[in-house]
């Protein structure tokens, strides 16, 4: 279903002003990776390109291209080419209101950086942003929809907001809740710096499963019972639930457009987030395309890029 609205003041699509690069290690693959974030044309969306493969392989950042959601979100194609751990970068792109970008990688995984989305927000700020001469399309939630296990839900709302609950046996994490609206710069202030986390007791099991090969205290919070092993401790008292919300922002941006609605997660992760998008798009009565206008336009571009850095193309 396609809801068309004409409004000269509708929020416009945005892309990067210039290319910018970084390098780092993949959290799960352990591979050293160089990455370039590039501007892209109107309607291009977010695409990843593996430049280390002959001829280059491009994979659209979409929910139906997710091939693995164990501990992270991995995109792939029918030929078995994959790009892992896209969620933190996708969260930064979502929070900073970037609609169109080509992301080039010379390896199988987005570099983990410090385990949060903040380094990517910083890169986008440095690259700058330009508006493009086309309205920004968004996905409006029209009715409640949930993942198969019920751990993740979407319902109608005036902007993207998240309610999250987690409950872990380890005392350092325990029970945490968070309610946040992704408006007025809240992503950059409240979520972007929250780091991924893991448990010391799980390290051997994860590495036996081919995961966390690049993990360290430099790119993840490591928990042992009621202790945080990282020097300097936490960035937020409730950094764990904030990171789970950050992951959800990134996973939801694989819808292919910003979502206008309320997300509720209960101990949910990447698998439930992706199952939620499958459920959403399986029900054409649960959503429609629209454009931002009126008061909604105030929350359309939330994130870490200040208005003075955004220019009209």
pLDDT of 259 higher than 80: yes
Phi-psi region of 265 (alpha: psi -120 to 50; beta: other; left: phi over 0): beta
Residue 4 falls inside a structural domain: no
What mean pLDDT, rounded, does the chain reach?
Answer: 91
Cα torsion through 221, 154, 264, 188, rounded to 10: 50
Backbone φ, ψ for residue 289 (5° rounding): -80, 145
pLDDT at 306 over 50: no
Whole-number Å distance between alpha carbons of 164 and 180: 9
Does the pTM exceed 0.85? yes
Q: Say if 169 falls within a structural domain.
A: yes
Confidence label for 297 from pLDDT (cuts 50, 70 and 90): low
Residues serving a catalytic function are: 270
Q: Please give the share of the chain, as a percent, with pLDDT higher than 90.
A: 81
Q: Are 119 and 1 in contact (CB under 8 A)?
A: no
Q: Report the alpha-carbon distance of residue 217 to residue 282 in Å, rounded.
A: 40
Report if residue 303 sits inside a domain: yes
pLDDT per residue as tens digits for the range 107-159 = 999 999 999 999 999 999 999 999 999 999 999 999 999 998 889 999 999 99
- Determine, yes or no, domain membership for 219: yes
Evaluate whether residue 2 is within a structural domain: no
User: 228: closest CA among 171, 190, 267?
Assistant: 171
Domain with 242, as residue range(s), is 12-307
Total count of domains within the chain: 1
CATH of the domain at 23: 3.30.1700.10
């Amino acid at each position: 279903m396609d809801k068309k609205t004409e409004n000269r003041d509708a929020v416009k699509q945005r892309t990067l002003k210039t290319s910018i690069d970084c390098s780092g290690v993949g959290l799960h693959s352990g591979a050293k990776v160089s990455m370039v974030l590039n501007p892209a044309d109107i309607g291009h969306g977010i695409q990843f390109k593996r430049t280390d493969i002959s001829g280059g392989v491009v994979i659209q950042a979409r929910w139906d291209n997710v091939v693995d959601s164990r501990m992270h979100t991995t995109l792939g194609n029918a030929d078995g080419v994959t790009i892992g751990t896209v969620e933190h970068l996708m969260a930064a792109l979502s929070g900073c209101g970037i609609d169109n970008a080509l992301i080039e990688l010379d390896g199988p995984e987005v570099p983990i950086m410090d385990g949060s989305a903040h380094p990517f927000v910083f890169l986008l700020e440095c690259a700058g942003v330009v508006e493009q001469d086309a309205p920004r399309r968004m996905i409006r939630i029209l009715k409640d929809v949930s993942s198969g296990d019920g751990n993740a839900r979407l319902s109608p709302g005036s902007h993207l907001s998240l309610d999250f609950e987690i409950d872990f046996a380890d005392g350092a994490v325990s029970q945490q809740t968070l309610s946040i609206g992704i408006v007025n710069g809240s992503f950059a202030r409240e979520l972007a710096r929250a780091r991924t986390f893991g448990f010391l007791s799980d390290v051997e099991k994860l590495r036996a499963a081919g995961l966390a090969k690049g993990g360290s205290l430099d790119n993840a919070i490591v928990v042992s019972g009621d202790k945080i092993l990282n020097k300097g401790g936490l960035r937020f008292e409730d950094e764990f639930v904030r990171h789970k919300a950050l992951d959800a922002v990134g996973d939801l941006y694989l819808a292919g457009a910003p979502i206008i609605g309320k997300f509720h997660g209960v101990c949910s992760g990447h698998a439930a987030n992706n199952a939620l998008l499958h459920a959403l798009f399986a029900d054409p009565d649960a959503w429609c395309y629209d454009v931002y206008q009126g008061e909604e336009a105030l929350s359309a571009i939330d994130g870490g890029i200040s208005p003075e850095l955004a220019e009209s193309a």
